[in-house]
Amino acid sequence: MTSFTRNVPLLALSQALTVSAVSLILTTSALVGFMLADDKSYATLPVALMAIATMCTSIPAALLMEKIGRKNGFMLSTLFGISGSMISFLAILESDFWLFVLGNMLIGVFNGFASYYRFSAADAVDHGHKSRAISYVLAGGVVAAFVGTNMANLTHDMIESAEFAGSYAALTGFYLLCLLTLSLLQLPPHLSMARPGEATEERPFREIMKQPSFIVAVLCGMLGYGVMSLIMTATPLAMAHHAQSFDQIAFVIQWHLLGMFAPSFFTGSLIRRFSVLRVMFVGALLAVSCVLINLLGSSETHFLLSLFLLGVSWNFLFVGATTLLTETYHPVERGKVQAFNDFLVFTTVAAASLTAGVLHHHLGWQAVNLGVLPLLLLVLTSIIWASRKAEGRQVEACEVT
């Protein structure tokens, strides 16, 4: 429990700082892109390329941290965050769209390392505490629901001649605090080492991929995050299109982030009580509810309720998928399985972020929402399939005994 009581709070604080920075970016980036880009359909390109940078970093980050340790890798990555925030600040001052894209991409590299906070917490504790460790680390994002969006609101007009420049100047402080917090971690140098009683045999990757739990964990992690990213990225544009103020946009994003991370205080307990697949199924249904609300209207209340439900949906699906994934590999397989999973997840997030601006600009807000329904149907179907597979194994086990 020493690892739990020391490392989990530090990783949760690092998550809080990281997501505070991300929430500031998500609140402002599409609006800055719209302001700087000649072609307004490129408004979400900076945040999309941030996600692509995260995707491209996920595998190298995992391999690097296997060699130098996760603590050293996390601390190294903060240099990308600091550089990216400073470049983004300069880009707004200079009205340079492509420099702003570069700054967002460097921040995306940092996020590629930070995405392993949850795995670091899960891998450093015993099996019975994995879901709690993942949930508590993600719960750090509750701070971001208030800090990031309020910081964006307070600083977006701090520099009169360059709207939003002050917001990106504030990002540097988040990354410096993150560096300080990560320096206090005491993680095992090699998390791929097995504990007594754990399997040490490394299986072919094909064998790991054939497991129903692996398929559902990766699929739901990908699509759950992708649906959330697509709708969330387009929301500031949709609200601005419906003549809603920046204060209203920041308020909606704040409640969305609260929905994303506040359930983490009890998601782990729900998983232990009702099973991971049932919690994920509810998460998918909440995403469908979000879409239906968005299709019914475009008032601030519609946006607020739908984005809050979308956040809770993401939490149930992402915590569930991460928990399920940790049950599919041996200790020596952690690095490659986690890297493969996060590469696919952030590939989907990048595609969703990039698609959001184009879809909204050319087809409108309703098309954004209708476009995710087939993906949610696939998520629901996969969870039902895995549940029946699990029930079948239980029946076979009972017959054997």
Q: What is the pLDDT of residue 1?
A: 45
Task: Determine what percent of the chain is predicted with pLDDT higher than 90.
Answer: 35
- Which domains, from first to last, does the chain contain? 2-187+205-400 (1.20.1250.20)
SS3 per residue for 279-301: HHHHHHHHHHHHHHHHHHCCCHH
Q: Name residues whose C-beta falls within 8 Å of residue 273's C-beta, 6 or more positions apart in sequence.
A: none
Burial code (b: 16+ CB inside 10 Å, e: under 16) for 30-67 equals bbbbbbbbeeeebbbbbbbbbbbbbbbbbbebbebbbe
- The string of pLDDT tens digits covering residues 70-121 is 889 999 999 999 999 999 999 999 999 999 999 999 999 999 999 888 778 7
Write down how long the chain is. 401
Provide the terminal-to-terminal Cα distance of the chain, rounded to the nearest Å: 35
Residue 300 identity (one-letter amino acid): E
Q: What is the pLDDT of residue 192?
A: 47
- The string of pLDDT tens digits covering residues 25-68 is 877 888 888 888 888 778 878 988 898 898 889 889 988 988 88
Are 182 and 11 in contact by the 8 Å Cβ rule? The answer is no
- The string of pLDDT tens digits covering residues 193-244 is 444 445 567 888 889 898 999 999 999 999 999 999 999 888 888 888 888 8
Q: What is the pLDDT of residue 128?
A: 61
Q: What is the pLDDT of residue 28?
A: 85
Q: What is the pLDDT of residue 227?
A: 94
- Which of 358, 238, 373 shows the shortest CA–CA distance to 298? 238
Burial code (b: 16+ CB inside 10 Å, e: under 16) for 185-223 equals bebbeebeeeeeeeeeeeeeeeebeebbbbbbbbbbbbb
